[in-house]
Structure 1
Amino acid sequence: MKLFNPYTPGAGFPPSYLAGRDEVINDAEQTIMYVQKGIVQRSKIYYGLRGVGKTVLLNRIEEYADDNWVMYEHIEVSEDDTFKAIMATAIQKLITQMSLKAEIKQLATKAASVLKAFQLKYTQGDVEYSFNLGNVNPAYGTADTGQFENDLKEIMVQVGMLAKKTDNMICFFIDEVQYLKQEELTALLTALHRINQKQLPILVFAAGLPKIAKLAGDSKSYAERLFEYVEIGSLEYEDAKKALVEPAMNQDVTFTQEAIDYIVKVTEGYPYFIQEYGKQVWKVMHDKEINLDCAKKAESAFLVNLDESFFKVRYDRATKMEKDFMFAMVKCGDLPCTISQVAIGMKRDAKSIAPLRSQLIHKGFIYSTSYGEIDFTVPQFDEYLKRINPNLIIEENDML
């Protein structure tokens, strides 16, 4: 029988074996079950570095929601998307599905009319309406005030009331949530606050980079009570081992202990890296066994593929000055580092490079690990920068 490669590196690609996330998934499933029983629960924000499997996690919880008759919409935010229009479309789909019940036609019509006003305000009227409710006039003066914080709250409450009346539950799965503008994040928090007060069956499961917890806190003081913030990190050794070994077992392919130790050390337990290394080492195995020699032989291909896809696609989005800033971070030695250290590496004043720091945080290249310190959002990005700039001089750690 011909062997097939079971490793799946890719943006949001589900692995053959999802290791180390059972506790998080079980908690999410329990949260959904509680809300289905009418018990208010906090929504979830999963945060962590690139490549730790946040999107995979969202998709797995989404599968559970789908299997348990939960209505849901998946939203991926980007720097260029208009969140307002995306939410309008998502809510329209939900109202349309719920409006099929004749006994709640009056409530559905009210929700649809509020949404229509919302859409006309935030999508320039470029939408089609198909509510199966006949002619629906916009409810002017409700969710079209131009204050997005008020308007999103109004339409979310209407759809929540409709869901409650029809014995439905709604989940919004929001990926790359850190790209929400401050106004949009504040509006989402305000809407959730009101939804919880009215005990409406709506949950948000969101995923983003580490900076999201601070952004939410800056938006609303009660943000920490609306969301449970769950850090998603690299895998512990045993889970990293399972992520590597389990996909191969179905085809009777084995790893030696030395090979496992080597790969886990190189990948540092990051799920994406494990998938990429697994894919490359699979190509050089001997007689259905992957030993230390195979692991070492596959390392160069592993790094080349990371460099040409995972790292380069991000690096190419940076401007020349932003790249200089990141190279200066690497010159600091061990990370995280301070902006003062970066300024010395760039031979610039700390104040003059502060805008670059803000730009890189906004773009998702770096994040603030603690007050005054920064690090890369992409694991091992510093090693990549060293590989593409081998002449970079790394300063001693006590440079200040």
Structure 2
Amino acid sequence: MSDRLRLFAAGAASLVLVAVGASACGSDSPESGTDPVPANAPAASTGASDPRALELAADWLVGNLNADGLLENTSAYEGKTATSVDVGSSIDLVLGLSASGLLAQEATAVTDAVAEGLPAYVGSGGEVYSGASAKALRLAVDQGRDPHDFGGLDLQARVEDRVATKSRIAGRLQDRSEFGDYANSIGQSYAAAALSAVGSERAESVTDFLLAQQCEEGFFRLAFAAKGAAEQGCDADDSLPAEQAPDTTALVAVQLAPLAEDDEQVQDALTAATKWLLAQQADDGSFADPENGTNSNTTGLAGWALLELGEDDAAARAAGWVRDLQVAQEGDGSGEESLGKLAGETGALAYDEASLAEGREYGLADPLDRSPWVVAGVQAFPVLAAAPAAGESE
């Protein structure tokens, strides 16, 4: 395995932690009267789509669950490797399956497994990781579980308790942790979606604070301004430049999309986000992350968001680009030899072209090789719902 892939594997866990706003010490590398949120099936494309790529990707990801029913992440640091349960990616998998309308039984089993080990993910003792708690609440509501009793925790109350009420920062999520406050816009978006779904009195302020993180250009910043700053919007803190990452804006848009019908402010925000995302798309359909370049995770997330936002053609172009990084489908004429050591990994999504080439040469037997494919794939695969059918233009 190349050093480049090992470095990506080492960084993947921290990226997931940031994505849910959990503390750096978190374990994740990111039946009630309450009506569950219906699965947000992607909007139908105007052209014919091919479900095989989506189904194969989902099957491959589910095939990576461990004996306890969760995904794992293996990273390397200072010559040592460590494997940990990846609850954040496991939740991503379930939300993606739900949005895609696939493998409902498997999604239920993963949800059960997440509930079993929930305290370690959302914080135990005096620790409360607000982003992780919000993401877990989003999962519980999506899967029709009791938000007041999921994994033995009252997740709704837990998230509501971490919503600031002081006027200057009203609605802001905030961690309670000896390691600092890592709350950010992605965790805030899970809270906005979940609290709105359960009719929480805190939903409006949480959504309003999230909308304030949208910059004039249309993208959403990831990090919040310091709690002591006089202003809390996008341009509030000149010392903390707003990162223009399609990943953040796409994740926020996917969570806000169900709220748009009943909220004009959300509609306006999503219109601006749509225009910004469309402007970031390359001619070949791909999207690039400022730090990691063009990749399947960023492209998949942006394409999924555009599909939810009704931009079917742009989503189809993103899906076509992601599908080109998928291990060949069986019977497509490529033959086992062209797959190299990726034979038997049908449906897997490579992070980028270099990863695909290295996978053919080295295979994915080493967990350090496999982890980047899983971490990238769980958020990228829903875009494949828009993958054009064979013979259709992208």
**Interval containing the TM-score (normalised by the shorter chain):** under 0.3
Normalising by structure 2, we get a TM-score of 0.26
Larger C-alpha radius of gyration, 1 or 2? 1
Normalising by structure 1, we get a TM-score of 0.25
